[in-house]
């Protein structure tokens, strides 16, 4: 082992700054999963009948499904009967009518997380939906958005207030039969965000959701649905944090995006769930199904993700490129440290003519972590003139971590063009020495080198979040060097 | 300022420096010459604190303080600067960001406030002109795709930005054409100051036509075999290393070349 690498490995400890717990009165279901629990969940949410039926159908099917067994992920199986499927802050009313009705403790929580929800201190130009455990607690900027015709609310509200839209699109991109976690999510999804941007509307501000897991022994089953109607544009960002706990907690999300003709959705994620401690104890299991359907001609979806948290991440934001000339993009930074495991990547399914996709994946591994890129690029028989460009770069910090790349390509069309580039590099002793010789300490040096490595992805993030992402990497790398 | 006593150092168990003694005072320029593989870069790296090299015995003090017990970045903050013979690339990190981080780390150490982006930009532009680098290069990744000459000028630029107490220049002249050599030499001459020492490592004497050293030392097989004034460099040029009983085919050939070119 070289000297710098030894130092890198010696000081593997880091502080997770969002690890506090909010002490708040909650309504929580007793642990366990059965049809009764699902019925009660649906009742609490005052859902229309179709929703309950949809959930139950998914549940019955899920019971027959097998949990996936990925070679590169090692984890203790979750006992689905030992977790609670609903936890929500107690409130006088069923829903807060305004921010004044939101428990001050909760507002404080979000402020601590750097997301002020109060009208006077709101994030400039960014509308926020805040999801706390199983429910959405506040959505800001509703009025100016409504003026533009944009619907931005919690999915629970959407189920009640816009049942036609929900019924028309929910589950069309990720059916409950898709995979084990998607099936579970369909049965018990708690809350998430709903966005509808009408024809020809350019959403006047960034939309974002902050997901926060607080309660112990609960799972968070986020469900997000975004529909961009013809010629519309929306940029959406989600951020996620959780307290530090010794037990693993489950976050099984489903996100569906639908882009009609000439519509564009930019979806960015900064995922910083609690990753577990330096011995691999605790942390969030982040099992997520994210998929976009580019139904319309010349529609476009970009996924940009910065994944630094979670004990295990299992996530492949994908694009089904059905519309002629539609475009899919995937820009990813995944950083693993200590005993974190990430298995992430994308699927670009080219069905329509002249569809194009770009994949840029940057994996960074430190400590004893394992970082896998798994990607599929598929060309259907009618995807004439389709093309994909893929670049997968891995950066290793220290020599006890691993990086693996599994790019799969399936082509049923001879005219399809694929370009693939892959590199693996290390933060070299020479680079570290150069930085240190210029007076820069090791931690700063590693974070600077890693940020440089991620530059192509960060530039895809909305401005204010690019800065946040850079800082997050720095915090996440704390203690990766001595 | 700098006092090296009986310095021994090895890499991967092989002894490279076999007892170096050298005294350098503030304001002086010393040149270290010697054939390839004689240990010039090793000496430079050991002084800067590269821990790939192990110091097995001897001592080095700077301003009376033990240099060897300090970490690389502490030495740098105390004013030790090394212009690398082979500057490494840091992809995606702009030169500007790199230098600003560096300058601010030094300022922080001195208890000074950080330089803001605008102030820094102004300084960086001025100095980049001084070493004849297009300010556009500030936005490029550190040494990323730089030509050999650009890398060397970049090193000198950094020295000028950081204003070190001890500047160690490792073959900053190699691979430069005449014009670039002039630019780099002017940069080094601009560094000359009462309170600063310069240790120049070079394989060829031509650099010394531009930067006139106060002392010249010849390093061979890990030892300083001869020291003198600048006339020693001229004598070396005429007579080659063989004159000192040192084997060096390459220098003999190239000095013959430069003689015929003159
Ligand atoms: N990192 C290293 N690993 C192994 N050997 C090295 C290393 N660096 C230098 N050496 C050896 O040390 C000797 C001196 O090298 P160096 O100091 O670079 O000489 P110079 O700069 O005078 O050409 C050479 O024999 C070289 O091969
Ligand atoms: Mg050398």
pLDDT for the residue A95: 45
Distance in angstroms (rounded) separating the CA atoms of residues A121 and A110: 12
Map tokens 């490494």 to a residue.
B88
Q: Choose the closest CB to B101 out of A428, A437, A440.
A: A440
Give the tens place of pLDDT for each residue, A46-56: 899 999 999 99
CATH number of domain containing B176: 3.40.50.300
Long-range pairs for B109-118 at CB < 8 Å and ≥24 separation?
Answer: B109/A439, B109/B77, B110/B77
Give the tens place of pLDDT for each residue, B69-101: 999 999 999 999 999 999 999 999 999 999 999
Give the model's confidence band at B56: pLDDT under 50 very low, under 70 low, under 90 confident, else very high. Answer: very high
Give the model's confidence band at A6: pLDDT under 50 very low, under 70 low, under 90 confident, else very high. Answer: very low
Asked whether residue B75 is assigned to any structural domain, the reply reads yes
Angle at B160 between CA B216 and CA B26, to 5 degrees: 45
Asked whether residue B138 is assigned to any structural domain, the reply reads no
Give the tens place of pLDDT for each residue, B120-145: 999 999 999 999 998 888 889 999 99
Distance in angstroms (rounded) separating the CA atoms of residues A14 and A12: 7
Q: A314 - beta bridge partners?
A: A287, A343
Longest dimension (CA), chain B: 55
Find, in chain B, the residue whose alpha carbon is nearest to that of A439.
B73
Distance in angstroms (rounded) separating the CA atoms of residues B146 and B153: 10
Give the tens place of pLDDT for each residue, A203-246: 888 887 776 655 555 667 889 999 999 999 999 888 755 555 55
Asked whether residue A92 is assigned to any structural domain, the reply reads yes
For residue A256, is pLDDT > 50? yes
Give the model's confidence band at A291: pLDDT under 50 very low, under 70 low, under 90 confident, else very high. Answer: very high
For residue A197, is pLDDT > 50? yes
Asked whether residue A98 is assigned to any structural domain, the reply reads yes
User: How many domains would you assign to chain B?
Assistant: 1
Q: Are A237 and A211 in contact (CB under 8 A)?
A: no
Asked whether residue B76 is assigned to any structural domain, the reply reads yes
pLDDT for the residue A341: 78
Give the model's confidence band at A8: pLDDT under 50 very low, under 70 low, under 90 confident, else very high. Answer: very low
Strand order across the A264-271 sheet: A135-139, A126-132, A206-212, A233-241, A264-271, A300-307, A327-336, A356-365, A387-396, A417-426
- Tell me if chain B has a CB within 8 Å of the CB of A2: yes
Give the tens place of pLDDT for each residue, B19-43: 999 999 999 999 999 988 999 999 9
Ligand nearest to the CA of residue B173, numbered in listed order: 2
Distance in angstroms (rounded) separating the CA atoms of residues A57 and A183: 10
Asked whether residue B98 is assigned to any structural domain, the reply reads no
For residue A249, is pLDDT > 80? no
Tell me, what's the ipTM?
Answer: 0.93
- Supply the DSSP string of A389-432, one letter for each residue: EEEEEEEESSSS-EEEEEEEEEES-TT-EEEEEEEEEE--HHHH
Q: What are phi and psi of A345, to 5 degrees?
A: 170, -150
With the most atoms of ligand 1 within 8 angstroms of its CB, the residue from B39, B53, B246 to mutate is B39
pLDDT for the residue B21: 96
The pTM for the full model equals 0.79
CA–centroid distance, B37 to ligand 1, in Å, is 6
| Preferred mutation among A6, A10, A364, A438 to probe B, highest tally of B CBs within 10 A | A438
Do the chains contact at A439 and B109, CB–CB below 8 Å? yes
Name the CA radius of gyration of chain B, rounded: 18
User: How many domains would you assign to chain A?
Assistant: 1
- What is the CB < 6 Å shell around ligand 1? B 11-12, 16, 34, 36-42, 52
Q: Where are the alpha helices (DSSP H) in A64-103?
A: none
Asked whether residue A482 is assigned to any structural domain, the reply reads no
Output the average pLDDT for chain A: 80
With 0-12 CB in 10 A as exposed, 13-18 as middle and 19+ as buried, what is B261? exposed
pLDDT for the residue A459: 81
Expressed as residue numbers, the domain containing B257 is 2-87+164-261
Expressed as residue numbers, the domain containing A146 is 3-477
For residue A7, is pLDDT > 80? no
pLDDT for the residue A443: 85
Asked whether residue A146 is assigned to any structural domain, the reply reads yes
Asked whether residue B25 is assigned to any structural domain, the reply reads yes
With the most atoms of ligand 1 within 8 angstroms of its CB, the residue from B7, B15, B16, B34 to mutate is B16
What kind and span of H or E run contains A53?
helix A49-63
Distance in angstroms (rounded) separating the CA atoms of residues A103 and B102: 46
Give the tens place of pLDDT for each residue, A73-98: 666 677 888 877 777 666 544 444 55
Distance in angstroms (rounded) separating the CA atoms of residues A190 and B128: 58
Give the model's confidence band at A261: pLDDT under 50 very low, under 70 low, under 90 confident, else very high. Answer: very high
Q: B142 - beta bridge partners?
A: B90
Nearest to A164 by CA among A38, A294, A291, A51: A51
Q: Are A281 and A315 in contact (CB under 8 A)?
A: no
3-class SS of residue A460: coil
Distance in angstroms (rounded) separating the CA atoms of residues A211 and A219: 12
Give the model's confidence band at A3: pLDDT under 50 very low, under 70 low, under 90 confident, else very high. Answer: very low
């Amino acid at each position: 082992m070289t000297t710098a690498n030894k130092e890198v490995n010696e000081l593997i400890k880091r502080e997770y700054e969002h690890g506090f717990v909010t002490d708040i009165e909650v309504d929580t279901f007793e642990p366990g999963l059965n049809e009764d629990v699902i019925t009660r969940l649906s009742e609490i949410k005052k859902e229309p009948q179709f929703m309950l039926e949809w959930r139950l159908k998914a549940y019955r099917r899920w019971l027959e499904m097998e949990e996936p067994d990925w070679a590169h992920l090692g984890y203790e199986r979750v006992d689905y009967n030992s977790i609670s499927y609903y936890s929500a802050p107690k409130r006088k009313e069923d829903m807060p009518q305004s921010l004044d009705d939101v428990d001050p403790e909760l507002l404080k929580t979000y402020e601590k997380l750097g997301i002020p929800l109060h009208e006077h201190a709101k994030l400039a130009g960014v509308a926020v939906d805040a999801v706390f455990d199983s429910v959405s607690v506040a959505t800001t900027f509703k009025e100016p958005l409504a003026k533009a015709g944009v619907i931005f609310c919690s999915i629970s509200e959407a189920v009640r207030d816009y049942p036609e839209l929900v019924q028309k699109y929910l589950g069309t991109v990720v059916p409950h039969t898709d995979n084990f976690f998607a099936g579970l999510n369909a049965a018990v999804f708690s809350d998430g965000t709903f966005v509808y941007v009408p024809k020809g509307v350019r959403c006047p501000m960034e939309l974002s959701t902050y997901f926060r897991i607080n309660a112990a022994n609960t799972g968070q089953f986020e469900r997000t649905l975004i529909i961009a109607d013809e010629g519309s544009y929306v940029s959406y960002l989600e951020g996620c944090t959780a307290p530090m706990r010794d037990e693993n907690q489950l976050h099984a999300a489903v996100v569906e995006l639908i882009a009609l003709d000439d519509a564009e959705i930019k979806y960015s994620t900064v995922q910083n769930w609690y990753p577990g401690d330096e011995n691999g104890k605790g942390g969030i299991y982040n099992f997520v199904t994210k998929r976009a359907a580019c139904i319309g001609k010349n529609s476009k979806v970009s996924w940009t993700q910065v994944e630094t948290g979670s004990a295990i991440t299992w996530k492949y934001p994908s694009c089904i490129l059905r519309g002629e000339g539609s475009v899919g993009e995937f820009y990813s930074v995944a950083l693993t440290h200590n005993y974190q495991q990430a298995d992430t990547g994308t699927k670009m399914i080219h069905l329509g003519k002249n569809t194009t996709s770009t994949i840029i994946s940057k994996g960074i591994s430190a400590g004893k972590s394992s970082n896998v890129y798994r990607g599929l690029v598929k060309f259907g028989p009618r995807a004439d003139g389709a093309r994909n460009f893929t670049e997968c770069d891995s950066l290793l910090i220290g020599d006890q971590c691993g990086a693996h790349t599994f790019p799969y390509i399936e082509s049923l069309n001879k005219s399809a063009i694929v370009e693939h580039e892959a590199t693996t590099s290390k933060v070299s002793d020479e680079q570290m020495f150069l930085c240190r010789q210029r007076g820069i300490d090791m931690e700063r040096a590693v974070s600077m080198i890693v940020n440089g490595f991620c530059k192509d992805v960060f530039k895809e993030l909305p401005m204010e979040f690019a800065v946040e992402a850079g800082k997050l990497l720095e915090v996440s790398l704390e203690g990766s060097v001595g | 300022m700098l006092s090296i006593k009986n310095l021994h150092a090895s890499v991967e168990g092989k002894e490279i420096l076999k007892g170096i003694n050298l005294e350098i005072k503030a304001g002086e320029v010393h040149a270290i010459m010697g054939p390839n593989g004689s240990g010039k870069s090793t000496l430079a790296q050991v002084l800067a604190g590269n821990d790939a090299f192990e110091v097995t015995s001897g001592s080095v003090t700077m301003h009376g303080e033990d240099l060897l017990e300090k970490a690389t970045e502490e030495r740098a903050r105390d004013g030790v600067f090394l212009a690398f013979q082979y500057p490494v690339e840091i992809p995606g990190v702009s030169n500007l960001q790199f230098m600003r981080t560096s300058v601010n780390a030094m300022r922080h150490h001195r208890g000074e406030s950080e330089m803001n982006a605008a102030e820094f930009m102004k300084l960086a532009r001025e100095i980049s002109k001084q070493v004849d680098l297009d300010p556009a290069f500030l936005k490029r990744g550190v040494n990323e795709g730089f030509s050999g000459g650009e890398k060397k000028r970049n090193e000198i630029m950094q020295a000028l930005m950081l204003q070190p107490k001890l500047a160690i220049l490792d073959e900053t002249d190699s691979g430069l054409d005449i014009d670039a050599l002039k630019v780099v030499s002017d940069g080094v001459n601009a560094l000359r100051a009462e309170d600063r020492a310069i240790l120049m490592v070079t394989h060829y004497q031509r650099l010394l036509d531009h930067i006139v050293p106060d002392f010249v030392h010849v390093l061979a097989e890990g030892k300083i075999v001869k020291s003198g004034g600048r006339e020693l460099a001229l004598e070396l040029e005429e007579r080659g290393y063989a004159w000192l009983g040192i084997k060096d085919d390459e220098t003999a050939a190239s000095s013959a070349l430069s003689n015929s070119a003159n």
